Amino acid sequence: MLAFDQIGFVVEDLDEALAYWIDVIGVAPFFVYRDFRLAECFYHGEPIELTISVGYGQAGEVQVELVEQHGDTPSTYLGRASGDPHHVAFWTPEYDRHVEEYRSRGLADLMWGSASGRPDERFVYFASDGPGPMIEVTEVLPAKAEMYRGIAEAARAYDGSEPVREASLTRG
């Protein structure tokens, strides 16, 4: 059985969404990356400059991603803020194989790129043509897998302190 690794939500205000997820739903801690410009991003085949803030938390086996877009650049996030899931993501070290698998099912690339510009951090969103959220395939090799394991471990060991943890993504 295929299991997704992440469920993503687009939010108008990341801090407001964090407060809701922490105080009401009970998911914590969240690791927050603010005002991060994607190194490479394409939307409908056109290059775009996209800056987002994201919060990553863990609910059991599933990572929760909260995304706030900054600015009005056309993207998969623009105009999609709601309480509904925006996407489900599958993490894989076999990115090309899984992307081709979804394309063979008739799904079309909507937005793709790399957060850092490195070839091992690719992602693609497929346009949803069904009654569910978009599908994201994310390349996860050892460094990113370790980061995600750290988020999951922090949730398992969470003691109520520091529910929001400011973080940064370094490019190197």
pLDDT of residue 43: 98
pLDDT of residue 83: 85
Residue-range domain boundaries for the chain: 6-160
Contacts of 76 (CB under 8 A, 6+ apart): 43, 86, 87, 110, 111, 125, 134
Q: What CATH number does domain 6-160 carry, 3.10.180.10, 1.10.150.240, 3.40.50.720, 3.30.390.30?
A: 3.10.180.10
124-134 pLDDT, tens digit each: 999 877 888 99
Give the torsion sign (CA, 29, 115, 36, 107). Answer: negative
pLDDT of residue 132: 84
Average pLDDT over residues 39-56: 97
pLDDT of residue 170: 59
One-letter amino acid for residue 147 of the chain: M
Distance (Å, whole) CA 118 – CA 77: 22
Predicted TM-score (pTM) of this structure: 0.94
Average pLDDT over residues 67-90: 95
The average confidence (pLDDT) of the chain is 93
